[in-house]
Amino acid sequence: MAILTVYYRHKTNGTWRYSALGVGRRSEAAKHGPYFIRLRNSAGKYQWVKHQSEAAAKEAAKLAPVAQKAQELGLTIDETTNTANINRTSIKTAIESYLRERRFGRPRSIKAYENVFDQLLANLPQGVRFVDQLATPAKLNEYVEFLRSLG
């Protein structure tokens, strides 16, 4: 994961520029803020996120890679950083690895797998984010009953 840099904005020759917040003497713009970090959004494009204090920008820069990883896995930040969840596999990760292994199968079969997995992810029982949580008889029965109710 990349370490994010904190930036400040200043006007140079009539245009706004972003400069990295360095160590040592700072200009007036760097002393008083606002401060910015540059994040990649879900579409893959970079965007500037504004913070009023330097401490808030540095904290956001530390948490941004964790938050992005959590979003990719379909988890919350607390579930990602919790040490009890280190050896657990998220359902989204398990599905992606299964589809990666089956990528040479028949196209109709792959589409059927994707359809079933999308339905599973959209209708997971409350509080289930990891494979071991879903692999209990009670949760599996709950999901099967849900599928029966759909017909």
Please give the pLDDT value at position 1. 46
Q: Are residues 74 and 93 located together in one domain of the fold?
A: no
Alpha carbon of 80 to those of 10, 56, 83, 94, 108: distances in Å?
36, 21, 8, 15, 34
Q: Are residues 141 and 99 located together in one domain of the fold?
A: yes
Q: Are residues 69 and 11 located together in one domain of the fold?
A: yes
Domain hosting residue 27, numbered range: 6-79
Domain finish residue from 52, 79, 106: 79
The secondary structure of residue 8, as a DSSP letter, is E
Q: Are residues 65 and 11 located together in one domain of the fold?
A: yes
pLDDT tens across 65-103, in order? Answer: 666 666 666 665 555 555 555 677 778 888 888 888 877
Number of domains observed in the structure of the chain: 2
Please give the pLDDT value at position 2. 56
Phi, psi of 19 (to 5 degrees): -130, 145
Q: Are residues 17 and 59 located together in one domain of the fold?
A: yes
Q: Are residues 69 and 125 located together in one domain of the fold?
A: no
Neighbours of 133 (CB within 10 A): 15
Q: Are residues 93 and 126 located together in one domain of the fold?
A: yes
**1 belongs to a structural domain:** no
pTM of the model: 0.45
Could you write out the DSSP letters of every residue in 9-62? EEEETTEEEEEE--SS---HHHHH--EEEEEE-TTS-EEEEEESSHHHHHHHHH
Q: Is 149 helix (H, G, I), strand (E, B) or coil?
A: helix
Please give the pLDDT value at position 12. 84
- The C-alpha atoms of residue 54 and residue 122 are separated, in whole angstroms, by 39
Residues of the chain with pLDDT under 50: 1
